[in-house]
Amino acid sequence: MAELRASLERDDGFTSVKTWMQSGNVLFQSTLRAEVIDSKIREVLHADFALDDVPIMIRTAREIQETVASNPFLPPKHEAKRIFVAFLDRVPCPKLWKKMGQIDYSPEEYKLDEELKIIYFYVPDFAKYKLDTTLFENRNWRTVNKLAEMASSSSNATTAAAVPKKEQASKKKAAKQPAEPQRRSKRAKL
């Protein structure tokens, strides 16, 4: 993440660049439009890290703070370490979303926030979970709260980008190593 931060700091479109651990999240200030920010981040990922086709989710500081404020699964009723947020680049297809709603995932819970383009997940038992949240780029509740805190503590923090953790693993390494066989999962796939 330090390398990504340094690469973005060299670009004139980003200031006050910060990262949070190895979570794949970058906070920065920018006056650029979201499409331009997306393009610039992709250029940096390609030029400096040989990464292509990386999904990037861009959110304003306000949207991250609204994500925290709008969580339907707040403690103490729901255990914070069991809460996840999936950041989406678009709202899911209504037909598929309706079909998903017909499946019983209890005791797990989920809720789509169409305005924020996120899905909140509450997974009470990791050992027995049915809803496969790995299909989405998600963050745990601690990380989401930390991002909101970092965004609010920065003067004029305007934009944050979530660069997916799964894509951070060097594709250079993956290209050199044979692929591992895929495991079948009994969990429901969306």
The whole domain housing 136 covers 2-169
- Decide if 174 is inside a domain: no
- Decide if 186 is inside a domain: no
Query: Using CA atoms, how far apart are residues 51 and 72, in angstroms rounded to an integer?
Result: 35
- Decide if 182 is inside a domain: no
Bridge partner list, 159: 28, 60
Sheet holding 159-162, edge to edge: 15-20, 25-29, 159-162, 57-60
Q: What is the pLDDT of residues 156-187, one digit of tens each?
A: 555 566 665 444 444 433 443 433 333 333 33
23 three-class SS: coil
Query: Using CA atoms, how far apart are residues 13 and 40, in angstroms rounded to an integer?
Result: 8
- Decide if 189 is inside a domain: no
- Decide if 175 is inside a domain: no
Taking only the tens of pLDDT, the chain with its 190 residues reads 889 899 999 988 898 998 887 778 899 998 899 899 999 999 999 999 999 888 888 898 899 999 999 999 987 889 898 999 988 888 888 888 888 888 888 888 889 999 999 999 998 877 676 666 666 778 889 999 998 988 887 655 555 666 654 444 444 334 434 333 333 333 333 3
- Decide if 176 is inside a domain: no
Query: 65-73, long-range: CB within 8 Å, 24+ apart, which pairs?
Result: 65/148, 65/151, 65/152, 66/116, 67/113, 67/116, 67/118, 67/144, 67/148, 68/144, 68/145, 68/148, 70/113, 70/116, 71/120, 71/141, 72/111, 72/120, 73/109, 73/111, 73/120, 73/122
- Decide if 125 is inside a domain: yes
- Domain count of the fold of the chain: 1
Give yes or no for a cis peptide into 178 (omega within 30° of 0).
Answer: no
